[in-house]
Amino acid sequence: MSRFETDTALRVRSDSTTYDVMLDPGWSIGERPNGGYLLAILARAALATTGKPSPLAVSAHYLRAPSSGPAEVRTELTRSGRRVSTARSTIWQGDQPYIDALVTAGELHQAPVEWDDKTEPVMPPPEECELAHNPHVHISLFEQIELRVDPSTAPFPAPNGDPSMRFWFRLADGSPPDLLSLLLAVDSGPPTVFHLSKFGWAPTVELTVLLRGLPAPGWVKVESKTSTVADSWFDETATAWDSTGRLVAQARQLALVGEG
């Protein structure tokens, strides 16, 4: 088992819809577990409840920031179909829900892409990219993943104020990517609004990820960009391609501009 699998593992209770999980401090930014790590746990519970192998669409609303340590995932099957099933999946600590998600699951196959818009960005190979780090905050997440940033999109802020980033992603223990670790990949980069000098903790309120293909082994390429900053809010769209150049995940989030 990879470290990622171990740290997102669930133990089902006798009601068969509630799961115990240990939120591991190894996937955090400062004291806060990464949103993509939490998304993977929510999706894993939904897969167990629906009995389907592949998450297709995962929509999470972040209510409160959980702490590392024990938590439970409560699930509710809302549709059980031949092709797709849907569940609600919620992380609880104590008597409060922390992240609430809806997950539609089915089965992705090794099917060829029928059409794509060919927007995969060109970027230097991983060995010519820079390992992400942050001098201000301890990011234990960066010990579990290797995130190599295209030097033309780093460091912050971008001189031209373009809030976009490109980076390579892989698990540090060398495990190949799967659908659940793609949920981590698309939320693993720093907020692109840092390029606009809007630094500080930028809490995500909503994050939806569409999973579009089973990733091939190797590095995952991610491009993230902000389209609009207004009224204290920004969006961030992150797209992931596998090592064969296939689009495998599409994410978008709404987050609050940091104040600090």
Binding site for a second copy (CB under 8 A): 56-57, 59, 61, 63-64, 78-79, 84, 86, 88, 97, 100-102, 104, 108-109, 111-117, 119, 161, 163, 196, 205-206, 208, 210, 212-213, 225-233, 235, 239, 247, 250, 252, 254
Closer residue to a second copy (CB): 171 or 248: 248
Closer residue to a second copy (CB): 144 or 224: 224
Write the single-letter amino acid at 94. Answer: G
Residue 88, strand partner residues: 76, 102
- Min dist. Cβ of residue 3 to a second copy (A): 29
Cis peptide bond N-terminal to 157, omega within 30: yes
Closer residue to a second copy (CB): 80 or 152: 80
Write the single-letter amino acid at 52. Answer: K
- Min dist. Cβ of residue 31 to a second copy (A): 20
- Min dist. Cβ of residue 106 to a second copy (A): 9
User: Measuring CA to CA, how many Å separate 89 from each of 46, 60, 77, 156, 252?
Assistant: 6, 9, 9, 36, 19
Closer residue to a second copy (CB): 101 or 149: 101
Specify whether the CB–CB gap between 23 and 69 falls below 8 A: yes
CA distance 184 to 211: 12
- Min dist. Cβ of residue 7 to a second copy (A): 25
- Min dist. Cβ of residue 114 to a second copy (A): 4
CA distance 83 to 74: 23
Closer residue to a second copy (CB): 9 or 229: 229
Tokens of 170: 């892989």
Question: What letter does residue 213 receive in the DSSP assignment?
Answer: S
